A and B are shown apart, each in its own frame.
Chain A
Amino acid sequence: MIQVRNLVKKYGDFTAVDDISFDVGQGEIFAFLGPNGAGKTTTIKMLTTLLKPTSGAVELDGLNPAVEHTEARKRFGIVFQDPSLDDELTAWENLDLHCILYKVPRKVRKERMERLLRLFELWDRRDDPVKQFSGGMKRRLEIARGLLHTPKILFLDEPTLGLDPQTRNHLWTHVQKLNQEEKVTVFLTTHYMEEADRVAQRIAIIDHGKIVAQGSPQELKASTNSETLEQAFLALTGSTIREEVPGSVDRMRQMTRMWRGNRR
């Protein structure tokens, strides 16, 4: 379903993704793990047409996302790592907008929106503007939105960041159900190793832009003589904490917070 060959992304001198190759089979749940700044999100961006690779080949369901954008975009759904909701619109309007962009048939639209809003316990707040939501609620809405249309491939970029265990549980149960019933291929990243251990059939570990290990959770644990996936992960990537350069987005958010704070 996803084929990646010698994928490279360079920003000037810095190589964010350094010659990686992997395959994700049809109907597989594939976890892409790595420390902060390892190149996970950059890879997802290249897979989802947001970024052009410096070199290398990507195929999504036989399509090249760098060339056949619109066709490729029909194949996948994505839950982003950082927020991508419109704060001024209500929860319902955000979902409705998504349905229209993704051409979800009018007949099933309402029913699906209601089901997902209830699943993520946002139904009572559906007519409130998103700017009044807490961080966790926004996250839940974002996930609900990503599941509105049933894509062939579902990308989940750290979907559980900042969620409580209940919601995480709901999310993974739902994702597994989609995977089993609708044969949706799932490509996920997370920092919670026990989650990856629970849901993923195959795992690739990326560090400094390179894939350092690939295999099933059992294989990774066996190859590193570890009991848990977390230990295997640390054995493979070392225990140094990674520095991340704050991007313009972070600076921007900080500025807005200051500005909004002053006005109030």
Chain B
Amino acid sequence: MNAIYVLWIRQLKRYVRSRARIVGSLGQPLLFLVALGFGFGPVFEKAGQGNYIQFLAPGVIGMTILFSAVFSGIELIWDRQFGFLKETMVAPVPRIAIMIGRTCGGATVALAQGLIVVAICYAAGFRSNNLASLPFALVFMALIALMFTAFGTAIASVLSDFQAFQLVMNFLIMPMFFLSGALFPLFGVPRALQIVAAVNPFAYGVDGMRAALIGGTAHFGAAVDLAVLGGITAALLGLGSYLFSRIQL
């Protein structure tokens, strides 16, 4: 139990201390918000879809959490290359505890990044329609964070260098983000794209967050979102723990 706590707090300390990482990782969401949000805003409104910033903000918040979480999970490769992983791996602590500590730490960091972007979205003019459902949005944010940190950890347990990480980013995470409905409504898009979104776990996260933050526009339905996210998160945590326990150095 102490081991889980100490590894969790370690991730937080590392995050708080690397100001460059905090600022750097906010550049991308800011760019999306400004370039897409304000750039496509007029077109979106003319098409009768309402305020684009309102629609886009949950997507951008989700994106921040997605990227931070995967990166946190992937940090495992870093720890493996620079040796700290060995220190934890020979400690008389079950590997599952190490995995849980790391994953919770990474997810907390991703959630913190997401909350900073929530604030930025508010500054850009985003307003939640339903403040009472804000805790519900937090649940979705936490689930996205946990799911993708576990996903990153699972991947990093099998990979041993950063070259392969680029592959994962470009062929898995980027498509997951762009084909999720984070940037555009899923109503009325070609059927193929709808199918892709339906098998994309991130799409359910964005959909759930959007439902909680601005209400009434859920594509899959908030209950479905919650069930799918919960199920996949549990499965990925299991897979991550299994792969992590098999790491050899």
Contact = CB atoms under 8 A, between A and B. Distances in A.
B160 interface: yes
B13 A102 contact: no
A89 interface: yes
A239 interface: no
B10 A248 contact: no
Interface in B34-79: none
A48 interface: yes
Interface in B1-34: 2-3, 6, 10, 13-14, 17-18
Nearest to B18: A88
A97 B98 CA distance: 13
A242 to B, nearest CB: 22
B172 interface: no
B82 A87 contact: yes
Contacts of B92: 70-71, 73-74, 101-103
Main secondary structure of the interface of A (DSSP, over half): mixed
B86 to A, nearest CB: 5
Interface in B82-114: 82-95
Contacts of A103: 2, 92
A103 B3 CA distance: 9
A83 interface: yes
A85 B84 contact: yes
Contact of A86 (B81, B84, B162): B84
A48 B249 CA distance: 11
Residue from the set B83, B94, B249 with the largest chain A CB neighbour count within 10 Å? B83
Contacts of A87: 82
Interface in B204-249: 248-249
A253 B92 CA distance: 28
Contact of A98 (B14, B87, B89): B87
A70 B3 contact: no
A84 interface: yes
Interface residues of A, number: 35
Given A84-B83, A248-B81, A252-B162, A101 B10 contact: no
Interface in B158-205: 160-162
Interface residues of B, number: 28
B10 A82 contact: no
A51 B84 contact: no
Contacts of A98: 87, 91
Contact of A51 (B10, B14, B17, B248): B248
Interface in A71-114: 71, 73-74, 76, 78, 80, 82-89, 93, 97-98, 100-103
A51 B249 contact: yes
A125 interface: no
Nearest to B17: A88
B10 A97 contact: yes
Contacts of B13: 88-89, 93
A153 to B, nearest CB: 12
Interface string A247-262: 0110111000000000
Query: Of B83, B84, B85, B87, which is in contact with the most chain A CB atoms at under 10 Å from its CB?
Result: B87
A249 B14 CA distance: 22
Interface in A30-89: 45, 48-52, 69-71, 73-74, 76, 78, 80, 82-89
B30 to A, nearest CB: 21
Contact of B90 (A49, A249, A251): A49
B157 to A, nearest CB: 14
Contacts of A248: 81, 160-161
Contacts of A50: 86, 89-90, 248-249
Given A49-B90, A76-B90, 16 more contacts: A48-B90, A50-B89, A51-B248, A71-B92, A73-B91, A73-B93, A74-B92, A80-B83, A84-B87, A88-B14, A100-B2, A100-B3, A101-B6, A101-B88, A103-B2, A252-B81
17 contacts: A45-B249, A48-B90, A50-B90, A51-B248, A51-B249, A52-B248, A70-B92, A73-B92, A73-B93, A86-B14, A86-B87, A100-B6, A101-B87, A101-B88, A102-B91, A251-B161, A253-B81
Interface of A: 45, 48-52, 69-71, 73-74, 76, 78, 80, 82-89, 93, 97-98, 100-103, 129, 248-249, 251-253
Q: Which 8 A-B pairs give the minimum distances between C-beta atoms?
A: A84-B83, A101-B91, A73-B92, A74-B92, A84-B87, A50-B249, A100-B6, A88-B14
